[in-house]
Structure 1
């Protein structure tokens, strides 16, 4: 992650950064140092993380098969506890520890903590123990941010009666960004943006994205990313970016608003 020059004079106040699971092992000192610089210019940061590679490894070790549909992991009863223990017990504390070790105040959270999420089943018949977020406890997040503590949110929640639910990380990031009226959402992944015919698109709009989904140029795990981005745009988040580790990639904005 490199510091954008414009960041030094930004009007941004709150930014949600979603780190894909494939990015977590490759976080560099410069990447982490950039969070300090963002805080120094008055930006409140919320981190949401995935854990796909670690979950895949844990499921394989337990001989539990896993499949995806529309970019969402189908999570059946034999997988949900493994997903839970991996995300909450391993990935989240490891990332939080790394941030704290770099001198960045951070605290790990999931939907179990402080009633952070109000969740329900996305479609139990279709996806199993996969959730959707009905509401976000913004008061909890604002309390942490007021103390300059970065919330590190894992994509896991629970129903009101305690049933565990796996939630797509891009969806979590978009719901948190919307609830917090964030100024920007960054989806950081190992794919530096939307690629069409092997070429990264610098600026796109929702209409182009829908055409590429229909044509099959956008597929798999990129689908929930762009859908989360579009939802945020139409709900009022000014910009959403899908970027690589250097924060270079695709800026998604509504048609006619590009500078």
Structure 2
């Protein structure tokens, strides 16, 4: 018996979409329409989110100050409980509701669910209760995707002993992209790509990025984004995009493409 090409199983494409906290308050109908178009074209989606503005608001209510080092939020013992409750109790269910309402079947997760993100302390002296991901349990994501459900993951987890840990959401997205062998990682931010000299760079390479970091033209919150992108590219992920709300911006490729 011969099998036609149309009958052969084709592995679905996968894209991990990371939503910055500042984007969550301004998502519009077109954004969800674009997500549905990706799904209709055969792409499985995994969404990772932060929650910076919401966290800042809750910390301020409690008179807790917060700082960042190398683009990572320093998270004190008094702050970690607020970070956890804000991400898991407010930001995640709101986003899941928006997705379900728009016709995208979604379920909320955090790093503790199903031991999804197994972590240790990154560097307590420098960052406080911030996690370093040691392993991703991709099986729970595979199960959800196989059933047509989009996982929506908040950037919080815990130690083996159960101590809650804040994790940079760009890093979470990068590690999950690698674990499930996704074709691409899309970082959706309030900055539509890498700006150098005031201009968005459409296609760049790690070599160019290294030069811009050395010269100080890439700094602050963009650093963990490009570091996450570099890690994915080095591990074999074909491309990483840093885009704005229109899903347009900078595409980062392993090497220059000449046409």
Q: Is the 8 A contact 2:77 2:129 kept in 1?
A: yes
Residues 1:177 and 2:177 are matched in the alignment: yes
Aligned residue in 2 for 1:91: 91
Aligned residue in 2 for 1:78: 78
Q: Whole-Å Cα distance in 2 between the matches of residues 226 and 36 of structure 1?
A: 27
Q: Is the 8 A contact 1:12 1:183 kept in 2?
A: no
Aligned residue in 1 for 2:253: 253
Aligned residue in 1 for 2:120: 120
Aligned residue in 1 for 2:187: 187
Matched ranges for 1:2-17 at <5 A: 13-17=13-17
DSSP 3-state at the match of 1:104:
coil
Q: Whole-Å Cα distance in 1 between the matches of residues 25 and 160 of structure 2?
A: 33
Aligned residue in 2 for 1:33: 33
Q: Whole-Å Cα distance in 2 between the matches of residues 258 and 194 of structure 1?
A: 20
Deviations 1:204-245 (A, max 9, x none): 111111111111111100000000000000001000010001
Which sits farther off after the overlay, 58-67 or 36-45?
Answer: 36-45
DSSP 3-state at the match of 2:25:
helix
Aligned residues: 249
Runs of 5+ unmatched residues, structure 1: 1-10
Residues 1:219 and 2:219 are matched in the alignment: yes
Q: Whole-Å Cα distance in 1 between the matches of residues 228 and 102 of structure 2?
A: 30
Q: Is the 8 A contact 1:75 1:166 kept in 2?
A: yes
Aligned residue in 1 for 2:57: 57
Deviations 1:45-104 (A, max 9, x none): 000001000011111111000000000000010100000000001000000011111121
Report the TM-score when normalising by structure 1.
Answer: 0.94
Q: Whole-Å Cα distance in 2 between the matches of residues 181 and 70 of structure 1?
A: 27
Compare CA radii of gyration and give the structure with the larger one.
Answer: 2
- Residues 218 and 80 from structure 1, CA distance in 2 versus in 1: closer, same or farther, beyond 3 angstroms? same
Q: Is the 8 A contact 2:204 2:256 kept in 1?
A: no
Aligned residue in 1 for 2:69: 69
Q: Whole-Å Cα distance in 1 between the matches of residues 149 and 131 of structure 2?
A: 27
- Using the TM superposition, give the Cα deviation of residue 12 of structure 1 relative to its aligned residue in structure 2, in angstroms: 6.7
Q: Is the 8 A contact 2:109 2:153 kept in 1?
A: yes
Runs of 5+ unmatched residues, structure 2: 1-10
Q: Whole-Å Cα distance in 2 between the matches of residues 77 and 97 of structure 1?
A: 30
Aligned residue in 2 for 1:158: 158
DSSP 3-state at the match of 1:153:
strand
- Using the TM superposition, give the Cα deviation of residue 258 of structure 1 relative to its aligned residue in structure 2, in angstroms: 5.5
Following TM superposition, the consecutive aligned residue runs of length 4 or more in structure 1 with deviations greater than 4 angstroms are none
Report the TM-score when normalising by structure 2.
Answer: 0.94
Aligned residue in 2 for 1:4: none
- Using the TM superposition, give the Cα deviation of residue 29 of structure 1 relative to its aligned residue in structure 2, in angstroms: 1.1
Q: Whole-Å Cα distance in 2 between the matches of residues 255 and 45 of structure 1?
A: 26
DSSP 3-state at the match of 2:24:
helix
Q: Is the 8 A contact 1:193 1:242 kept in 2?
A: yes
Q: Is the 8 A contact 1:17 1:173 kept in 2?
A: yes
- Using the TM superposition, give the Cα deviation of residue 255 of structure 1 relative to its aligned residue in structure 2, in angstroms: 2.2
Q: Is the 8 A contact 2:183 2:239 kept in 1?
A: yes
Aligned residue in 2 for 1:146: 146
Aligned residue in 1 for 2:4: none
Aligned residue in 1 for 2:5: none
- Using the TM superposition, give the Cα deviation of residue 113 of structure 1 relative to its aligned residue in structure 2, in angstroms: 0.9
